[in-house]
């Protein structure tokens, strides 16, 4: 049964303004041909009635809904929410609107999210969490929606891939620790390692091996503060505890720092140096003052928006650099 919602339609405005419905449509379509007088009449009537163009119906015609689906897991995490904020802001500034789809880490959940995106004829889907099943990508392009993968390894022609210099950052982290005199380096990461986390850890481990200082490696739990506590405990309980730890995520680093200071009595950075990754807000708080790698959140967002604006035939791989932010968990090497 058709439920009347009594929303104002272009037909209403046309009658009120004494013009044809086409004139109303043209008034709200940039670049269409309307005379200034009818345009004024239409605008006046629209304002009076509270008319807003129905984007659903418009999307039916133009095949561009203006909606971009953001598929994200664990969005109440500091880094995720920051990326989300930047992304929605840039999208809106570009006249698009974000549809937020929350998933857990399961394949089925992401699949459902993509079906949702397709059902709403989303212009594109930005995947911030894992997309394991390669068949899903085909499903997307078959339904004409563009795909953006952030920090994912899987290659998919036609999709935009955004990657960071993760391995190089890992190597740089080791280099920073070596230069201040660390001799027992360690890398701490989570067990549910995504590609980017793995690359960071490997970059660190390889650089350490090349320098003749093989790194201890510990991987525990999911990427969370609690896992950081466990990682710190495991590392510092060893017979030869590390004097420098690279954490693949700030959340892990916070846990490591807290357990190192409070349970093991370590002074930072005198006894122990710690480096994180992401540069979330808490890394700048006085309780941590964490030396960490800043992800170029704004650049990530901008490159996504500009790719969406382009015809999509442009290069489908964007590599951006995270850069080290020096704070107080590593002594400055300038001595």
Give residues 56-115 in contact with DNA (rule: CB under 7 A): 57-58, 60-62
- In 77-123, DSSP assigns E strands to 97-103
Q: 70 in helix, strand or coil?
A: strand
Rounded to whole angstroms, how far apart are CA atoms 300 and 89? 12
- For residue 245, CA distances in Å to 211, 234, 281, 316 come to 16, 12, 20, 35
102 binds its own copies (CB under 8 A): yes
Beta-carbon contacts of 145 under 8 Å, excluding residues fewer than 6 positions away, are 117, 118, 121, 122, 123, 124, 125
259 binds, among its own copies, DNA, none (CB under 5 to 8 A by kind): its own copies
Question: Which residues are within 8 A (CB) of 81 and not within 5 positions of it... i.e. 6 or more apart?
Answer: 75
Site membership for its own copies, residue 84 (CB under 8 A): yes
281 binds, among DNA, its own copies, none (CB under 5 to 8 A by kind): its own copies
- Run of H or E including 199: helix 195-210
Stated length of the chain? 335
DSSP helix/strand/coil, 174:
helix
As measured in angstroms, the least distance from the Cβ of 58 to DNA is 4
331 binds, among DNA, its own copies, none (CB under 5 to 8 A by kind): none
- The residue among 292, 320, 303 whose CA lies nearest residue 86 is 303
Q: Which of 162, 106, 176 lies closest to 136 in space, CA to CA?
A: 106
Smallest distance, its own copies to C-beta of residue 241, A: 19
State which of residues 23, 45, 46, 70 lies at the interface with its own copies (CB under 8 A). 70
Q: Which of 10, 147, 247, 268 binds DNA (CB under 7 A)?
A: 10
Among the listed residues 12, 38, 43, 82, the single contact to its own copies using CB under 8 A: 82
Contact with DNA (CB under 7 A) among 48, 54, 323, 332: 54
Question: Half-sphere exposure of 42 toward its Cβ, with a 13 Å CA cutoff?
Answer: 23
Cα–Cα dist 237/86, whole Å: 40
Which residues 147-186 are close enough to bind DNA by CB under 7 A?
A: none
Residue pair 232/274 in contact by the 8 Å Cβ criterion = no
Binding mask 120-139 for its own copies (x = CB under 8 A): xx-----------------x
Binding flag, residue 142, DNA (CB under 7 A): no
Q: Is 265 in the site for its own copies (CB under 8 A)?
A: no
Q: Is 33 in the site for DNA (CB under 7 A)?
A: yes
Residue 83's nearest CA partner among 245, 320, 259 is 320
Question: Given the rule CB under 8 A, which of 184-192, 210-218, 283-291, 322-330 is the region that contacts its own copies?
Answer: 283-291
Using CB under 7 A, list all residues that contact DNA: 1-2, 5, 7, 9-11, 19-23, 25-26, 28-29, 32-38, 51, 53-54, 57-58, 60-62
Using CB under 8 A, list all residues that contact its own copies: 2-8, 50, 52-57, 59-65, 67, 70, 74-78, 80-82, 84-86, 88-89, 92, 97-102, 115-116, 118-121, 139, 142-144, 225, 229, 254-255, 257-259, 262, 281-282, 285-288
């Amino acid at each position: 049964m058709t439920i009347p919602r009594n929303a104002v339609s272009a037909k209403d405005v046309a009658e009120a303004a004494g013009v044809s419905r086409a004139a109303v449509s043209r008034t709200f379509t940039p670049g269409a041909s309307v005379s200034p007088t009818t345009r004024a009449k239409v605008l006046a009537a629209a304002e009076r009635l509270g008319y807003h163009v129905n984007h659903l119906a418009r999307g039916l015609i133009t095949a561009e809904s203006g909606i971009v689906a953001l598929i994200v897991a664990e969005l109440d995490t500091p880094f995720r929410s920051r990326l989300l904020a930047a992304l929605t802001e840039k999208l809106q500034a570009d006249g698009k609107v974000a549809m937020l789809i929350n998933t857990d880490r399961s394949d089925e959940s992401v699949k459902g999210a993509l079906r949702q995106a397709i059902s709403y004829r989303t212009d594109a889907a930005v995947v911030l969490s894992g997309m394991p099943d390669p068949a899903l990508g085909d499903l997307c392009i078959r339904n004409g929606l563009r795909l953006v993968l952030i920090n994912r390894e899987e290659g998919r022609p036609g999709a935009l891939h955004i990657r960071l210099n993760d391995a190089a950052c890992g190597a740089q982290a080791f280099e920073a620790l070596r230069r201040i005199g660390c001799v027992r380096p360690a890398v701490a990461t989570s067990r549910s390692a995504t590609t980017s986390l793995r690359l960071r850890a490997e970059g660190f481990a390889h650089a350490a091996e090349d320098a003749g200082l093989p790194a201890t490696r510990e991987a525990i739990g999911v990427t969370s503060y609690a896992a950081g506590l466990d990682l710190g405990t495991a590392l510092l309980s060893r017979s030869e505890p590390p004097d420098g730890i690279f954490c693949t995520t700030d959340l892990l680093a916070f846990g490591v720092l807290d357990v190192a200071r409070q349970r093991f009595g370590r002074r930072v950075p005198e006894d122990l140096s710690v480096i994180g990754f992401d540069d979330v807000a808490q890394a700048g708080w006085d309780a941590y003052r964490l030396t960490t790698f800043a992800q170029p959140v704004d650049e990530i967002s901008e490159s996504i928006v500009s790719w969406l604006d382009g015809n999509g035939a442009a290069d489908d791989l964007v590599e951006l650099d995270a850069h080290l932010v020096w704070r107080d968990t590593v002594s400055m090497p300038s001595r």
